[in-house]
Amino acid sequence: MPNPIPLPDWNDGYPDPERLRHEVSHMADAIVETLLDNIPSEEIRAIYLKGSVKKRWDTPIDYVPEASDLDVHVWFHDDDWEQSLFSDLDQAFIVQRDIGVRFRRKCPQPIHTPRPQIMILNTLLRRPGYMHSPPDSASVLFGEDYPVADYSGADEIQRYKCHDMLALADIVDRYPYRVFDRPDKYLVELLRDLSFRVSPIGPIILQLAGLDPMTVWSMNRTRVTRALEDIGERDLAETYVGYFLARWRWFLSASDDLDAVRDTVRSALAVLDRAKSVANAHLSQMET
């Protein structure tokens, strides 16, 4: 049996994870304060914090500054609010500016600026196959308790997850066209489109392999990596790890190491290419 894929330790020249967590907490507070200042509180059913920022950070791949999203889900009582919130450009700029101002007041000299991703839960709930996260990977910032996840109907959920992976991987074949005309700093523009595609691939493949969804979606990336090795997906696990380590190289270089960007893209496309193969094979098997 091969040795486990080596993973770095936080003491191997990485920033203090506790300080990073404090900065994440300050950004989450800034978001909630700004939203409540701009939206009547009675219109908001709940605000939740989710994702890798809520999980254990056993190794540096579990959180990568300015690559891992700070996921905030906003749930309105009335679906109409999701349209009105984003229909006014000036209002959007006010929210965007205020979040940044509040964060800087709370954290004048941060190591990093956490990257928010604010999603409207009303919209997500209308997506076929959407599942709530396990309770230990979400926390309430405002309002109601987080909904209980329902993972019944395994076959239908697996079908949706396959289609999710195919949608995430739909960039693979045409990606070289997006690369060749981006000299120097323009190459960096590619990074934003990759994190949300790569991060869920590991858990989805583990779920398709038969692991308990509640367990899988509670795992941090360190545990996901080990689980991928256990089910025989070592090559995928290596490129999955390689993606996050390349993103770390980019951050630690003060956004100067373009080879780190190239390695990030290579690793991301390898992960997505494998995801496409697994999804197609699983769908074919379900049809037989």
Q: Tell me the per-residue pLDDT of 59-83, one tens digit each, with 9 for 90 and over.
A: 999 999 999 999 999 999 998 877 7
pLDDT at site 148:
87
pLDDT at site 37:
95
Write down the residue that tokens 């500054």 correspond to: 65
> Beta-carbon neighbour count of residue 238 at 10 Å?
17
Using CA atoms, how far apart are residues 191 and 64, in angstroms rounded to an integer?
13
**Contact (Cβ atoms closer than 8 angstroms) between residue 220 and residue 62:** yes
Q: Tell me the per-residue pLDDT of 80-129, one tens digit each, with 9 for 90 and over.
A: 877 776 778 898 899 999 999 999 999 999 999 999 999 999 999 988 88
Q: What is the pTM of this model?
A: 0.94
Share of the chain above pLDDT 70, in %: 98
Per the DSSP assignment, residues forming a β-bridge with 47 are 74, 142
**Contact (Cβ atoms closer than 8 angstroms) between residue 255 and residue 134:** no
Rg of the chain's alpha carbons, rounded to an integer? 19
pLDDT band of 192, cuts 50, 70, 90 = confident
**Contact (Cβ atoms closer than 8 angstroms) between residue 230 and residue 219:** no
* Mean pLDDT computed over 146-165: 84
Q: Tell me the per-residue pLDDT of 238-247, one tens digit each, with 9 for 90 and over.
A: 999 999 999 9
**Tokens encoding 242:** 């390689």
pLDDT at position 287 over 90 = no
For 123-149, what is the HEC assignment? HHHCCCCCCCCCHHHEEEEEECCCCCC
pLDDT at position 177 over 70 = yes
pLDDT at position 279 over 90 = yes
Mean confidence (pLDDT) of the chain: 93
| β pairing state of 44-50 and 69-76 | antiparallel
Is the Cα dihedral 236, 265, 19, 119 positive or negative? negative
Closest CA to 69 of 124, 141, 118: 118
Using CA atoms, how far apart are residues 244 and 228, in angstroms rounded to an integer?
15
> Beta-carbon neighbour count of residue 126 at 10 Å?
9
Write down the residue that tokens 């509640």 correspond to: 214
pLDDT at site 151:
78
- DSSP one-letter code for 109: S
Long-range contacts (CB closer than 8 Å, 24 or more residues apart) made by 163-166: 163/129, 163/279, 164/129, 164/200, 164/204, 165/201, 165/204, 165/205, 165/275, 165/276, 165/278, 165/279, 166/275, 166/276, 166/279, 166/280
pLDDT at position 154 over 70 = no
